[in-house]
Structure 1
């Protein structure tokens, strides 16, 4: 992948919206730019990759309402470019396919400013594909035509050659044309296209809120009006639209359009976010906790140097493994220090984290709650042993207390801490009130407690259709302390188990 910047302005195609459709080069520019100028159709989720000190400017155009007219956008790009900073002009789809990137490029050339174009996947291909419509198909057509459905009203003469479009057998893809749908359909029929020609509309193509419909040229305007169809949408005209029902793979995803809040720490959330996104859910990342190192690791280093006195080490989380190993490395040690000891892992993810570091756990319980762990450890003769538990600074005391009752000499060793990370819950509150959220997921007691620091119980009670989903009984009990009963609780207390429970609830 290219890493050097040969220009300081980049006209970047953000693709149709699905983050997986963003090119590697586009992501690289987003991550390294100093100034971000983005559009309405560019997925705002991409902004999370910007540097913390990046200047972010929104210049979007929505339904004819312009934050800035195009000439002012041109001036803004040139002005910011003259600062010598790296400017990313992020545009939905491809910059040169109805993105006015050509005009912006001309302005930059006139100003003597070097620029680079980063092409993006255009909605005319991607949104159609996600709706089960190949824009070319040997049984229907060998060509495709991209057409603007909303021409510049100041033009003296239309650039649309309706007589050619009407007689052609090409697939026609109209961008930004929903408001002109009756005119488009009428012009095509008047110029030779059969009234029963299939027509598809695809709204928010490739995104979790994608919707699509198929009609005919004769009926599409009335059908769209009946369904209150809105922009942003593409219009696809041609026989290929008849494949919509057969090939429409994306809209069959079981959680398509379901709004799900993920409260897990951002550095741990990728597994849950990825699983939900793959099922079609609209994921709202709302990390209520951040996992952070301790200010002082003297106690941890001392415990590591005295580790030989322990017979058991019990890891209760992936983070416990990660931060403990960080300190092992800091004092010049590695996994060999565990020679002769027995190692327990609460949960498969924690066990995997140990295996990645060369340790095969001696005990992984069938159920991943402290009470069950204690029973399993007692069966393995842990009574009376010296036990070290590397964990969060604040955590449930059930495990160490029960082991102490069994006569164990228990050392609880904080190796990291969790802190409240969000400063406001306004965005999530607004989404809940607008019925954009169906589930809020909780993967630990701390995510519950911090969520209700930001979203009051009364606010949640005003949104009765929002369901709470718990990873297991311990987290459920914390939810119940705030006056709620989860509608969903995993029977397997893992991230995959939580996802399965959500799927089962939606059936």
Structure 2
């Protein structure tokens, strides 16, 4: 008897193809520096540009994100810090979506920070990570306070994290420089411990709060007096405290807090875009600039004039195009885009710019201005260099002049006198901007701003119109004689006048004023006060 052969039938049960696993993301632990955003490393800036998600641990760090990356707050609603474990879970959760996560860590990620624990969580989850070192507050804050941690005669320093720790101060009785972290609340106890351990009561101490920012403040004292002096100065966390003879060098090496405009709050009646260069210049002198737009740029009420001029430009109607402002360049460019035109439409035309800023705006279009005033950068300066019309050399005698609705007639009259015909076209309107928020208006009127920079007569008129007159203690700085005259007409006393009509020169002039003012305080043996801290009896014209 033969044994029957078993047959295998195909299963009719459908098989399921497993879904591919989503690739895990990557985490960059980036040192965000001790406070000043400009202390980011080049690599840190590159990674911020590439990030999909940025996790911050301080609210102010969100300002470092200039892309459309998602910003995630790595702190509780009340601003308190999350635990190491909670931060680790937060980082891992976002990385598991496949995102490139940049975790901004104050100071240096591996120095008194939570990054080691968070990176360990990434490793456990199989997520790749990298560490981008940052500038630690341990060294940066004393440097900004003018206190070196080591010198030729003192080569050692020790870092002590105080907080709530129980510390045997006898271990720190030697001559080494001490850098104390989280010591503000216990500074009296710390000082007593160090004196009890054998340090002299006269040992110098420097305590610096919110270091590397323009709000930085330093108290210099001794071990026997630091608790009382810190309390009197209102010192609060975050602060770095340095103990040792190196503190005595601050008198010679203080470079940051002695800047001519250090801590000044300067009002700039312009938009952030318009005042970027000016803000950087003011910041280099230690000032904090705040922008309040006083003018709003709007299209002309009747666009037909611009439409006709642009058609004429394309058809070869003009010999010259004269740009008298960055806004005029922007208005023509927008009109070109509306018609589907580009810079090639300027082929064969000569381009004039009233100044370097306007020439730079033209250059972003891929065009170089043929004429920029060599002297005064104004309509008057442009006329001084403008060639007269010559019927033998100039095939066309017409100039296209796109400008604001409130522009003066100086340039038009001058060009006509030189033999040119001018199509004076309203390219945009300038209208008074909406009033700033109530706290800003109150600050302007109550003297909380140390200075106001007026860059045109219209900024004077409009600021007074939307926010009221600056307080009598506020320093008034004007870009030129015409602006100064308008300020005086509005009852303001002008303290600073730029030698040239340039916002950079205006900032320099204000810095010179601040330096002279500071020197006057020092020579009189008085504490250096900001204008907002000192109230003269009268500063406005009668």
Displacement of 1:214 after TM fit? 2.4
After TM superposition, give the deviation of residue 258 of structure 1 in Å.
0.5
Deviation, 1:324, is 6.0
Pair 1:182-2:188 in alignment: yes
Shift of 1:194: 2.9
Residue 437 of structure 2 is matched in structure 1 by 425
Residue 117 of structure 1 and its aligned partner are, at CA, apart by: 2.6
For residue 36 of structure 1, the aligned residue among 21, 46, 54 is 54
1:456 to 445, 454, 467: 467
Unmatched tracts of structure 1, length 5 or more: 153-157
Quote how far apart the aligned CAs of 1:187 are: 1.7
Q: Paired residue for 1:139, among 153, 156, 168?
A: 153
- Is 1:347 the counterpart of 2:347? The answer is no
Which of the numbers 42, 46, 49 marks the counterpart of 1:24?
42
Deviation per CA, 1:48-105: give whole Å up to 9, x if none.
533346335362799xx72655554444444444444443332321122222222333
Deviations 1:381-400 (A, max 9, x none): 469952222445x5524346
Distance 1:301 1:331, change over 3 A: farther
| 2:264–2:287 CA contact under 8 A, matched in 1 | yes
- Name the CA distance, whole Å, in 1 between partners of 2:232 and 2:226: 10
What is the aligned counterpart of 1:333 among 340, 344, 351?
344
Mapped to 1, the partners of 2:426 and 2:64 lie a distance apart of 30
- Inter-partner Cα distance in structure 2 for 1:52 and 1:362: 38
Task: Say if 1:358 and 1:79 are closer, same or farther in 2 by CA, change over 3 A.
Answer: closer
What secondary structure sits across from 1:146 in the alignment?
strand
Q: In structure 1, what is the Cα distance between the partners aligned to 2:478 and 2:445? A: 21
1:49 to 59, 65, 71: 65
Match of 1:269 in 2: 275
Residue matched to 2:500: 492
Q: CA deviation at 1:200?
A: 1.4
Q: Say whether the 8 Å CA contact 1:94–1:120 is kept in structure 2.
A: yes
What is the 5 A alignment of 1:30-179? 30-40=48-58, 43-44=60-61, 47=63, 49-52=65-68, 54-57=70-73, 59=75, 66=80, 68=82, 72-141=86-155, 143-151=156-164, 158=166, 160-167=167-174, 169-179=175-185
Structure 2 CA distance for aligned equivalents of residues 482 and 135 of structure 1? 52
**Secondary structure at 2:35 match in 1:** coil
Cα shift at 1:363:
4.3
Structure 1: how far apart are the matches of 2:100 and 2:490?
Answer: 48
Shift of 1:286: 4.7
> Where does residue 407 of structure 2 map in the other structure?
396
Quote the offset at 1:259 in angstroms: 1.0
Determine whether 1:317 maps to 2:325: yes
Alignment of 1:247 with 2:265, yes or no, is no
Q: Say what the alpha-carbon RMSD is for the aligned residues.
A: 4.3
After superposition, what is the alpha-carbon deviation per residue over 1:256-307, rounded to whole angstroms, capped at 9, x for unaligned? 1001233434344232112111111112345566889999996565343345
| Contact kept? 2:24, 2:96, Cα under 8 Å | no
Count of matched residue positions in the alignment of Structure 1 and Structure 2? 479
* Secondary structure of 1:117's aligned partner: strand
Residue 133 of structure 1: CA displacement?
Answer: 1.8
Partner of 2:219: 213
Distance, in Å, in 2 between the alignment partners of 1:450 and 1:184 is 55
Distance across 1 between alignment mates of 2:357 and 2:24: 43
Task: Label 1:481 to 1:74 Cα distance change in 2 as closer, same or farther (>3 A).
Answer: farther
248-257 vs 433-442, which deviates more? 433-442
Q: Indicate if the aligned counterparts of 1:437 and 1:466 stay in contact, CA closer than 8 A.
A: yes
Distance 2:230 2:509 in 1: 36
TM-superposed CA distance for 1:456, in Å, is 3.3
Deviation larger for 383-392 or 121-130:
383-392
Partner secondary structure for residue 498 of structure 1: helix
- Quick one: which of 222, 227, 235 aligns to 2:228? 222
Structure 2 CA distance for partners of 1:308 and 1:322, relative to 1, 3 Å: same
1:281 match = 287
For 1:6 and 1:139, how far apart are their aligned partners in 2?
A: 52
Distance change (3 Å), C-alpha of 1:289 and 1:136: farther
Can you list the C-alpha shifts for 1:119-160, whole angstroms capped at 9, x where unaligned?
21011111111122221222122x2222212136xxxxx3x4
Partner of 2:244: 238
Check conservation: 2:158, 2:176, Cα contact below 8 A. Answer: yes
Q: 1:352 to 1:117 in 2, by over 3 A?
A: closer
**8 Å contact 1:351–1:360 — kept in the other structure?**
no
What is the rounded CA distance, in whole Å, between the counterparts of 2:204 and 2:252 in structure 1?
14
Cα distance in structure 2, aligned partners of 1:101 and 1:429: 43
Q: Check the 8 A contact 1:260/1:283 in 2, yes or no.
A: yes
Distance apart, 1:38 and its partner CA: 2.4
Alignment check: 8 A CA contact 1:345 1:364 kept:
no
> What's 1:410 paired with?
422
**Residue 55 of structure 1: SS of its match in structure 2?**
strand
